[in-house]
Amino acid sequence: MYQDKIQAVIEEVRKVVVGQDKMVNRLLIGLFTNGHILLEGVPGLAKTLTVNTLAKVLHLDFNRIQFTPDLLPSDLIGTMIYNQQTGDFEVKKGPIFANLILADEVNRSPAKVQSALLEAMQEKQVTIGETTFQLDRPFLVLATQNPVDQEGTYPLPEAQVDRFMMKVHIDYPSKSDEMEVMRRMANMSFTSEVNAVLSKQDIFDIRNEINGIKIAEPLEQYIIELVFATRFPEQYGLKNEAKYIQFGVSPRASINLNLASKAVAYFDGRDYVLPEDIKEVAEDVLNHRIILNYEAEADGINTRDLVKILLEKVPINKSVTLK
């Protein structure tokens, strides 16, 4: 079990990043369960700094790609370059060839660029010219969106958003955390050196151990009930909420909720999942997969509110042992 090393990773990141423990936790869950993460928050909340620092602590290659309206798929995956000396075309690989990819403001580029990124996420490979290249392993995409400035953006289609394991809302820091950030950043002699704690092999070993975490059948059933409650809310006593839901979540939701809850249990030093583990990650796994209608928008209802109601109203069968 690698719990001590995982805690050491978190402590190393805290040397540089203040007050974003939830974001770090979700990024680690994504890394250790082979899932990609969508981060939503206003600029200046240390998203880039966190991912960059995490890459150093995990001894992984990191690339940041700023998505802009004029970005081309070849800027992302690479292209063929003509070599005048040899008279041949040579492959020039793009920034997608790294372990951790920060796709900054992914909704600022047109659909063809988003599609190239999401194909790489799904297939773990890209094609340049006539040659297919496997991407580096581990491979994790962390995409960001600014929820405020939507002018000139290309919103991700629901089918593509569904490929992200979790959508994590990044909040402003607390007063005490912001005080610490201010003091650090206003100190021009402050250095942000961190130590590498895990190797690539450690990451693969942790993935295998998480895969062995047990989840009892009643909890598997609970996950299914949560998912079905988004599709058939009236059957779960959610008549008031049903009028806001246009489409419920896809089967990817149940798969990712299972995986994420196993990771939470593993981080806590257990080899079995508890109901609290599922509830811990349910909002981040489900919120971007529920599609609301215009009535919800008019009434100021968002998907995070609905997930909280689901967790309150969908029961767990507690008569069976969970270990």
> Which tens digit of pLDDT belongs to each residue from 265-297?
999 999 999 999 999 999 999 999 999 989 988
Q: DSSP secondary structure string, 200-252? A: HHHHHHHHHHHHT-B--HHHHHHHHHHHHHHHSGGGGT-HHHHTTEEE---HH
CATH architecture, range 3-200? 3-Layer(aba) Sandwich (3.40)
Could you give the angle at which helices 3-14 and 21-33 cross, rounded to 10 degrees? 140
Statement: residue 155 has pLDDT above 90: no
Phi-psi region of 105 (alpha: psi -120 to 50; beta: other; left: phi over 0): left
Tell me the average pLDDT of the chain: 89
Contacts 24+ apart (CB under 8 A), 204-207: 204/138, 205/2, 206/2, 206/6, 206/32, 206/266, 207/32, 207/33, 207/34
pLDDT band at 238 (very low <50, low <70, confident <90, very high): confident
Among 280, 249, 250, residue whose Cα is nearest residue 262: 280
**Within the chain, which residue ranges are assigned CATH 3.40.50.300?**
3-200
Kindly state the average pLDDT of the residues 211-219: 94
The predicted structure's pLDDT at residue 149: 66
The structure tokens listed for 129 are 């010219």
Kindly state the average pLDDT of the residues 181-190: 80
What CATH superfamily is the domain 213-313?
A: Magnesium chelatase subunit I, C-Terminal domain (1.10.8.80)
**Within the chain, which residue ranges are assigned CATH 1.10.8.80?**
213-313
- Residue keyed to tokens 């070849």: 74
